[in-house]
Amino acid sequence: MSDVFTTRVLNLSTGAAERVLDITGDCESFLREAAAGRDGLLNVFVPHATVGIAVLETGAGSDDDLLAALHTLLPADDRWQHRHGSPGHGRDHVLPALVPPHATLPVLGGRLELGTWQSVCLVDTNKDNPERKVRLSFLG
């Protein structure tokens, strides 16, 4: 059974545009302190109704491809019943059904066990709220 649980909240600004923000470095920094070489699990959670967490390749176009796919699946138009905020904002509230607001990742020897090209990313299509919190929790 685990005997270590540590948590920290990151305060991030995603800006005024839709964004896939790589937070892998933040996760690794947290684990250097929290895991201290132990095996366990990292849980990444965003307490927002319009943001998700994705594990994907970044920097080679996949992050832009994800945003393009979300535009196809969730167009920013007036079809949405949820209508406050900027035009098409209702789609932002559907986003977490496709890109969940959490991810649980293996930690081995105090390090994230990601594939060669994998990164932990915050996916934010909501231009109305650029200030985000991300809770990182290590259980090991």
Encoding tokens for residue 137?
């929790």
How do residues 45-97 score in pLDDT, each as one tens digit? Answer: 999 999 999 999 998 999 999 999 999 999 999 899 988 888 889 999 999 99
Which residue in 137, 134, 111 sits closest to 14, CA to CA?
134
How do residues 9-56 score in pLDDT, each as one tens digit? Answer: 999 999 989 999 999 999 999 999 999 999 999 999 999 999 999 999
* Domains of the chain, first to last: 5-139 (2.60.120.460)
In a 3-state reduction of DSSP, which class is residue 57?
coil
CA 67 to each of CA 2, 16, 21, 34, 116: distance values in angstroms, whole numbers, following the listed order: 38, 15, 12, 32, 22
Q: Sign of the CA dihedral 12, 36, 120, 87?
A: negative
Give pTM, 2 decimals: 0.94
